[in-house]
Each structure stands twice: as C-alpha cells, then as structure tokens.
Structure 1
Amino acid sequence: MRGNEGERRLSAAELGERLGERATLVQFSSAFCRPCWATRRTLTEVAGMVEGVAHVEIDAEARLGLVRELNVMKTPTVLVLDATGRIVRRASGQPRRADVIAALGEAV
C-alpha cells in the first residue's frame, strides 16, 4: 500500500456513508471484478476486528467523477482514511489482510 497521499480528505457526503470513528477503508469496485469480491471479504473482516473502523464500498462506474478526481485506474482500489477522512494509504489490486492491518496502523 502506498502512502503519502497529501492532504486530500474525503467526507461522508462524498462517500455516501459515515466515516469510521478511527479510520475508514474505502473500496472502489466494479460489477464484474472478481478480485473485488475477495477484497470486500477481507476489508469487512478487518473492519469487524478493529473497533471504530468502517468499510465503505463505492461502485466505480456509478461514481466516475470521484474515480477521475482520485485517479483510480483499476478495481479494486483501496483507500485508507484516518478519522478526519484524510487519505493516508492507497493500493490497487487485491490487498493482503496483513497489509490492510499494517496500513490501518498509520491511520489510527
């Protein structure tokens, strides 16, 4: 997972769901993306393990403006946000559970 995304913050209004109290895992997916299914499972599991962490899945095809703004080139793409919505990490492709947990360590 890459870090150092700068000061870009995502709000609950942009995501369409509330931010987690401690961190938010944002997943950009598309309908026929098989790795997105496994990513959803992994992120849901990690969010369930860590108190105050939310998982938000965004349909990339339905949110093209946000996809372009954030330079999402493929699905799945995962963003890790801190409690204020600041992007602290991002990764493209199916992440490993250990990598997600490590990235959360920077956000909380």
Structure 2
Amino acid sequence: MSDITIHEGDEYTAIFHGGPFDGTTDTRTATSDALDDEVTVFADVEGLQTAFTYRATKSRQVLDQTSVEFTYEPGESDPVDDLADRGDRSGEFDRVEPRAAALHGHMQLDLWTSAFCAPCAAARRVSAEASALVPGLAVTERDVASYPDDAEDLGIRSTPTIIVRREDGSEVFRSPGVPTRDQLLLAIAKAL
C-alpha cells in the first residue's frame, strides 16, 4: 500500500468509506510495525453484534500524522439486509450443553475486550472456535469500560485478555493478547 514507517503503539487516523461507518474517523493504535490491511468494526444491529469489514486502500503521512483510508467490504461483512438469515446469536457465548458439561466438567473462559480494539476480533474468533470444539465451555465477554472495577481487581492491563478457569473458579490460563487456537485448547484441557 505505501512506504509509511509506523511502529507498534503508534497512533494513526482511520477514515472509513462506504457501509454504516461511511464518513467517520477513528484514532487507532498500530498493533505491529505495519499499518492494518483490514479492520473489522462491530456494531449492534437489532440486538445482534454485527461485524463490518473494511480494507485499507490508501495511506498517507504528513509530518508526524498518518492516515489510512478504509473501504467497506460487504462480501466479507455480516449481512444486514435480512437479519433473519443470520439467526439469533445473542446467547451464543453463554450456551452450555448440560450433557456435555456433566461429562467434561464446567469450564469458564472470560474474554475481556474494549471498543475499537482490532485484536479483540481475533480473540473473539479464537474463543468461538474453542467454544464450538469443547462441549461445556462457557464463554463470557466483558468490556473493560463496562466493568472497570472487576477488570482492575483481576489485573486486566490490556485488551484482549483471555482467562480460563476451572469449575471451582481457579485460574489456569491467562493470555493478554490473542492466543492461538491450539494454545487456548491446551489451556482448556488443563482446566479439566
């Protein structure tokens, strides 16, 4: 896309074109030494968390200010025209299959996120994959802004943070950042 120099932790301005965020901007923080090629922005549409994907198309740097233009990718985003086709996912992360829970024990995965956190989308995907593969895994997502006291008590210093607990509540795994699916599955196995 360009030869712009950016480092992990640097801020840049994202300018969105098309889709529901058309004409809006957001200050983002680089999560590596490169600009994001793609971002996923989440919004609540009729009670369902909806993912909107935007792809970087242009970037520029003027003095110390960097901006990236992102264009809406409807084919890679959740459909919004017919929400009935998507099904109701509102309780997706809270499901526990009673028979499986009895067989495998109950495990808890706490996913701590924040608004406009690009890596949080990847953490959601990894958590959802683990939930689909491990019967009896209860996944709860919490926004640090909505639960600041709990986040402070638990020592949440960055988002995303994933905590896996045994049935008795004891912590067996903590990942600030996004673990791989295999790392997360190994941690869940330790919780059994």
TM-score between both structures, scaled by the size of structure 1: 0.78
Gaps of 5+ in 2: 1-92
3-state SS in 2 of match to 1:68: helix
Contact in 1 for aligned 2:172/2:191 (Cα 8 Å): yes
SS at match of 1:62: coil
- Which residue pairs with 2:172 in the alignment? 88
- State whether residues 19 and 85 of structure 1, in contact with CA within 8 Å, keep that contact through their aligned partners in structure 2: no
Q: Post-superposition shift, 1:78? A: 0.5
| Aligned counterpart in structure 1 of residue 148 of structure 2, from 47, 50, 64 | 64
User: Structure 1 residues 71, 57: CA separation in 2 closer, same or farther (over 3 Å shift)?
Assistant: same
Match of 1:86, as an amino acid?
S
Q: Which runs of 5+ in 1 are unaligned?
A: 1-16
Structure showing the higher helix proportion among its residues: 1
1:52 to 129, 133, 136: 136
- Does the aligned pair in 1 maintain the 2:94–2:139 contact within 8 Å? no
C-alpha RMSD of the superposition: 1.8
| Match among 92, 104, 107 for residue 188 of structure 2 | 104
* Higher normalized strand content (fraction of residues): 2
Higher relative contact order (CA 8 A, sep 6+): 1
- Equivalent residues of 1:19, 1:83 under 8 A apart: no
Q: 1:60: how far off? A: 0.7
